[in-house]
């Protein structure tokens, strides 16, 4: 599979990882849109949210918000933006489901 996020999960390419457990990984976005811009990714490859067709993948996807909550508390963030894009016409640049967690002032 030629998925950028799967390569990060498999440690084939480096990333600035801020959270990892057996099912999820979170790392800094290489093109940040805010002072803090993290991507929270399930280790299981799920291409896009709007095409999920089974309960297991819904559960995996919903847990992204729990990971976001843990990171927000751990980093003591004051406010944030959570965003998930679905497919390339709507801003999804990597075809592997992920949740953006952004906090802080916008970068110029």
* Per annotation, catalytic residue among 37, 96, 98, 100: 98
Q: What angle do CA 20, 47, 7 make, to 5 degrees?
A: 45
Instruction: Judge whether 45 counts as a catalytic residue.
Output: no
Instruction: Please give the order of strands across the beta sheet that includes 24-28.
Output: 17-20, 24-28, 34-42, 99-106, 81-83
H/E stretch holding 58: helix 55-74
**C-alpha gyration radius of the chain:** 13
Catalytically annotated residues: 98
């Amino acid at each position: 599979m030629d998925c950028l996020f799967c390569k990060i999960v498999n440690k084939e390419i480096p990333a600035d990882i801020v959270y990892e457990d057996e099912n999820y990984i979170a790392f800094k976005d290489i093109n940040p849109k805010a002072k803090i811009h993290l991507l929270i990714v399930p280790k299981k490859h799920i291409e896009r949210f709007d095409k999920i067709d089974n309960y297991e993948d819904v559960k995996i996807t919903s847990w992204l918000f729990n990971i976001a909550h843990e990171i927000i508390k751990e980093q003591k963030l004051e406010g944030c933006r959570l965003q998930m894009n679905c497919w390339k016409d709507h801003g999804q640049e990597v075809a592997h489901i992920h949740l953006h967690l952004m906090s802080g002032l916008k970068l110029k």
